[in-house]
Structure 1
Amino acid sequence: MLGGVFLLAFGPCAPPRCSAGAAVAAVVTGLVLAAATGLGGLALTVRRIVLRRAAWPAALLTLVVCVAVVVATWAGHQLVTGV
């Protein structure tokens, strides 16, 4: 998600086609969703470890969902900026 911040800082944003506010909203929403997903997955994984159950499925699911959020954020940024 740090890449999204760099997209905002250094990415092209021509005023007629690009809305800077919408680009910021897309990246910030992605950051919040990725952080929430990561923290939720961490809590679930630790809970499964404490209960002495297999924790790798929860960790793998967290990784997959975080990657999906990053890809969706990137796509949203590309859609908003028109690049």
Structure 2
Amino acid sequence: MTAAWISDVGVTDHALVRWLERVHGVDLERYREEIRAALVAGGFDLPQPAGDAGLYIDAPGVGVFLVVRAGVVATVLHPSTGETE
């Protein structure tokens, strides 16, 4: 029987990603390469100015925006809601 409090325990995105990678064998590098390819398809080109608040790159054919800050993809946004979830 599961303790009642267990449903209150949060799980971070970092923990979830590591679970997928280490328990289920998900190849994260494959998805990093897909994101990089989407950047290129969206016309992203380094270098990006230091201190930039973020560039929004439309990933053609994928249906999301990639937000790049200081040369790093920081998040992925759904275009109709602007949400990350």
The TM-score with structure 2 as length reference comes to: 0.30
Q: Which has the higher strand share?
A: 2
Higher relative contact order (CA 8 A, sep 6+): 1
